[in-house]
Structure 1
């Protein structure tokens, strides 16, 4: 489930940047409805997975709050990616 959360985190972050690029004029405004719907679905999926993963991983309140706030701050999904990749690497059994 952590791996799925990692993928959704990246997709949600990229969709947020796409919406911001519409606001800045880099992408045509004709795509606002489609991007908005995609981002909304990904954000809800992010929140649902975040709720499940944070409980399962027994993350602290500070870690959980940081990961939730990262879904709101542009480019913060990159820091979440590093955090989740370290968590995944630490869960893998050491091969001898």
Structure 2
């Protein structure tokens, strides 16, 4: 499953970027200018990326030898702004190559 790690890192990056765009650009445009088109445009891709992130985190957790606590940290980070970037730096770049 470590073959999935590069793909998971890409998904984490896109999930984090889509969340930031949704949170700091699309939502303010919706509420301040009554323009929901960007929320509609970014909402579905973000949702799909979020689900892929969660499933992949669970799949690679055993190969990465994450404890249950670490897995929960990785999952909770997906709902925090900039959380996936922190996870990438702290947990995904320190892999031991055999």
- TM-score for both structures, normalised by structure 2: 0.81
Q: Tell me, in whole angstroms, the C-alpha distance in 1 between the residues paired with 2:37 and 2:71.
A: 36
Question: Do structure 1's residue 24 and structure 2's residue 28 form an aligned pair?
Answer: yes
Structure 2 counterpart of 1:55: 62
- Matched residue count: 90
CA offset digits 1:39-71 (Å, max 9, x no partner) = 011001101111100122221011111000000
- TM-score for both structures, normalised by structure 1: 0.82
Task: List runs of 5+ in structure 1 lacking aligned partners.
Answer: none
**Shift of the alpha carbon at 1:30?**
1.6
**Shift of the alpha carbon at 1:74?**
0.4
Q: Which aligned segments of 4 or more residues in structure 1 are displaced greater than 6 angstroms?
A: none
